[in-house]
Amino acid sequence: MAHQADASRMLDNRGYTGPLVRGQNPLTLIDAPLRDRITDSYYWKEQCFGLNAATLLDRAVELTHVGGTYGASQKPTAFLCLLFKLLQLIPDKDIVAEYLAAGGEEWKYLRALAALYVRLTGEARDVYTMLEPYLSDPRKIKRRTRDGFRLSYVDEFVDDLLTKERVCGISLWKMPARQVLEDMDVLEPRISPLGDEVEELDEDEDEDDVSYYPASASGQAAASHTRAMVALAIDHS
């Protein structure tokens, strides 16, 4: 299948001339055994074929959980397959920023997907500056493990990306600690956005989602807004 052939050609470093991530082919950021499971999976062959930075949204909105592999045969999740597709596409940074900024309940897994992509491919400064704003995103998400599911939150997932060495079965590159980058004047000290809001959260829990749900971003309106912003970013890339 041409779809698989495209991935195979990208993995053939002898003829690879595409963009590099820290000096290496972006697809090799996923360990070889996991890559093989992805490209052999039904979801990759049937649902990821022909996707681009815009049409990937159609698959992202269908996601119901994050995760790596599951079951005795270690099948890759749809989430993992879409991550691999992003590594194949290498979308422009502005497009990834729009993925992250998408508001509305239906786009929470797109944010998680984009966050993992940024953690894998971004430079340390970009990883911190692009992901830290979402350390206060309280939306619930499901995380699939090898044996089942567990409840998690977007902010917990982002925190894992910033603090752990392995997420969704993927080894993350060793990133300098934030304090080191602050000492080097690469980053400004982080000011938590929660400082003055803790008491307000106790008074009115309905205000929790203001940063994540634009005033008019509900249902179809949110979907249209997100698609329009991604399309605009693609036009300017």
Measured N-to-C along each axis, helices 124-131 and 108-121 cross at an angle, to the nearest 10 degrees, of 160
Mean pLDDT of the chain: 86
* Separation CA 197–CA 229 (nearest Å): 29
pLDDT digits (tens, 9 = 90+) for 75-101: 999 999 999 999 999 999 999 999 999
For 19-28, 108-117, 195-204, 218-227, which range has the lowest pLDDT when averaged over its residues?
195-204
For the entire predicted model, the pTM comes to 0.83
Percent of the chain's residues with pLDDT above 70: 78
Q: List the chain domain ranges.
A: 2-12+19-188+210-235
Region 143-163: mean pLDDT is 96
For 27-36, 53-62, 136-145, 184-193, which range has the lowest pLDDT when averaged over its residues?
184-193
Residue 34 in 3-state DSSP?
helix
Residues forming beta bridges with residue 21, ordered by sequence position: 24
* Separation CA 233–CA 237 (nearest Å): 6
pLDDT of 224 higher than 90: no
More confident residue, 9 or 65: 65
DSSP H or E run through 113: helix 108-121
Residue 143 in 3-state DSSP?
strand
Report DSSP state, residue 103.
-
